[in-house]
């Protein structure tokens, strides 16, 4: 089986590199490591932080992109989300969803924004006018969005009454939907429901991986919280899952062994961002990478 190189569009870091604190050299070195495991592009994802630090890190990510072509833009996850579904995010930094507030951190290198559409005060239309992908996440509502962020996680669950973010994400065939299929964030039955509900060309696999992923770290600070890794999952002290500890090549192997993987899932993210497929991965029967052609 052959596919294009993998693109990570929701990815906070790995190998000890945290996009909210990393230097340009750190990010460039990370890109080299990712290339060796078949990841040919990624959107560094910034978790909720102060306006000052987000602006600084966007500049650093842009600087790193001048060194390596794999950096495709920033995914801003946070600041404009609902406190009711904050997850690991620090609500002290949350702001109303206004154009004025967005302009405090606005940059043409922001390509994806995860937000709570039910709290929108004009920001969604503004982002769309700028060509930014708008995704519903850490929310309880739905709206005119391009995709759902990590479906099922940090959103109102499937319900048979009223508006539910997860339900809308499943039944709205016009939008893409991210899914973290790492065996921790979503149960097998929920995965089956997801893959039965979403058209195959609207599925986006993500890792949502943390900086602790593939590192020697057993604990770290992420989103202003102490995070602990037990060898399987990374959580805060109160047990809140902070993100994944696997990257997409490993997640694809997990899905493949469950009979849930389709090569199209790798292709979809290219279509979503209108990016020409590049490079090629050859997979063996065990859904392991046998060869990479860059």
Domain borders along the chain are: 2-293
- The matching CATH number, chosen from 3.90.1150.10, 3.20.20.140, 3.90.79.10, 3.60.15.10, for 2-293 is 3.20.20.140
pLDDT-based confidence at residue 232 (cuts at 50, 70, 90): confident
Helix, strand, or coil (residue 205) = strand
What is the enclosing helix (H) or strand (E) of 177?
A: strand 176-180
Which tokens is 280 given? 């090629």
pLDDT of residue 11: 96
Residues of the chain with pLDDT > 70: what percent? Answer: 100
The whole-angstrom separation of Cα 80 and Cα 48 is 9
pLDDT of residue 162: 85
pLDDT of residue 122: 98
The whole-angstrom separation of Cα 131 and Cα 108 is 9
Chain segment 29-57, per-residue pLDDT in tens: 999 999 999 999 999 999 999 999 999 99
Which tokens is 181 given? 């299929």
pTM across the whole model: 0.97
Phi, psi of 37 (to 5 degrees): -110, 20
Helix, strand, or coil (residue 151) = coil
Residue 163 above 90 pLDDT?
A: no
pLDDT-based confidence at residue 231 (cuts at 50, 70, 90): confident
Phi, psi of 268 (to 5 degrees): -60, -40
Average pLDDT over the chain, rounded to an integer: 96
Residue 242: CB atoms within 10 Å: 25
The whole-angstrom separation of Cα 41 and Cα 114 is 19
Write the DSSP string, 64-107: HHTT-TTB--EEEESSSS-GGG-TTS-GGG---B-HHHHTTT--
The pLDDT of 97-114, averaged and rounded, is 98
Which tokens is 249 given? 């090549």
The pLDDT of 115-121, averaged and rounded, is 98
Residues of the chain with pLDDT > 90: what percent? Answer: 95
Tally the residues of the chain.
294
């Amino acid at each position: 089986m052959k596919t294009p190189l993998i693109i990570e569009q929701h990815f906070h870091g790995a190998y000890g590199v945290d996009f909210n604190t990393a230097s340009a050299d750190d990010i460039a070195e990370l890109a080299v490591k990712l290339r060796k495991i078949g990841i040919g592009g990624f959107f560094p994802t910034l978790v909720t932080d102060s306006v000052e630090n987000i602006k600084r890190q966007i500049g650093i990510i842009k600087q790193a992109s001048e060194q390596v072509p794999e950096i495709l833009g920033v995914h801003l996850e946070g600041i404009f989300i609902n406190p009711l579904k904050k997850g690991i995010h620090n609500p002290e930094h949350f702001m109303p969803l206004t154009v004025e507030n967005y302009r405090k951190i606005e940059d043409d290198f922001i390509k994806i924004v995860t937000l709570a559409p039910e709290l929108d005060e004009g920001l969604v239309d503004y982002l769309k006018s700028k060509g930014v992908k708008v995704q519903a996440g850490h929310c309880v509502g739905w709206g005119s969005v391009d995709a759902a962020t990590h479906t099922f996680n940090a959103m109102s669950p499937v319900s048979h009454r009223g508006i539910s973010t997860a339900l809308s994400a499943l039944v709205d065939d016009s939008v893409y939907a991210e899914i973290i299929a790492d065996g921790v964030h979503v149960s097998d039955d929920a995965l089956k429901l997801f893959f039965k509900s979403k058209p195959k060309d609207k599925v986006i696999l993500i890792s949502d991986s943390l900086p602790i992923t593939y590192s020697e770290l057993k604990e770290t600070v992420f989103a202003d919280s102490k995070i602990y890794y037990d060898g399987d999952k990374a959580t805060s002290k109160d047990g809140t899952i902070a993100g994944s500890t696997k990257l997409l090549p490993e997640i694809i192997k997990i899905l493949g062994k469950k009979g849930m993987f389709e090569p199209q899932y790798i292709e979809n993210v290219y279509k979503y961002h209108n990016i020409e497929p590049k490079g090629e991965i050859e997979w063996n029967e065990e859904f392991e990478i046998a060869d990479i052609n860059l």
